[in-house]
Amino acid sequence: MKRILIAIAMLGMTGAAFAGDGNFASCFYGSGNRSMGADLTAASYDRTQGIAVSAGKVAVGGAPGRVEITGVATGRSGGDIDGTINLWLSIFRFKRPDGTVNHVAGWNIMLALKPGQTAAETANAFASYINAGTRPYRAAVAADGLSAMLVITYSEK
């Protein structure tokens, strides 16, 4: 136990950044922050509109997260979770080049769907919510027929 605590203390002194999942291997300051970022997960609680994550990491200075939404929503009829669709961005930390540690809060976004709401309308609702927020994420939508792709990037602007 003592060796583990010493190793963790040494990681902190050598400039390690660490993710919420505890994976220290690829998080050293010298290796860049491309692997650092929020894990992106999603779930649909609607009977007819689905959501799938095709790129599950919104990386700092790297690749965006991607979510595909398909189908037309049945919608929400009561106060329960049925008829909703959710996105989660995990908490993470990374070390900036100037040595400061940036703590990025997680984000749980739930949308109540309307009956007949298309995939493009759902993706646009997520993008509007994300872009209006104060968190360091931006979103764009590409829609085609019954499916829509939501692309989420990390941006501190």
Q: What is the pLDDT of residues 64-73, one digit of tens each?
A: 999 999 999 9
Cα–Cα distance between 114 and 5 in angstroms, integer? 51
As a whole-number percent, the residues of the chain with pLDDT over 90 amount to 68
Pairing of strands 84-89, 50-55: unpaired
Q: pLDDT value at position 97?
A: 87
Return all residues near 156 (Cβ < 8 A) that are at least 6 apart. Answer: 136
Is the pLDDT confidence value at 2 over 50?
A: no
Is the pLDDT confidence value at 33 over 50?
A: no
Angle CA 62–91–5, to nearest 5: 105
Q: How many domains, in total, are found in the chain?
A: 1
Range of the structural domain that residue 60 is part of: 2-154
Residues 105-132: tens digit of each pLDDT: 999 999 999 999 999 999 999 999 999 9
Which parts of 74-115 are beta strand (E)?
Answer: 84-89, 92-95, 101-104, 107-112
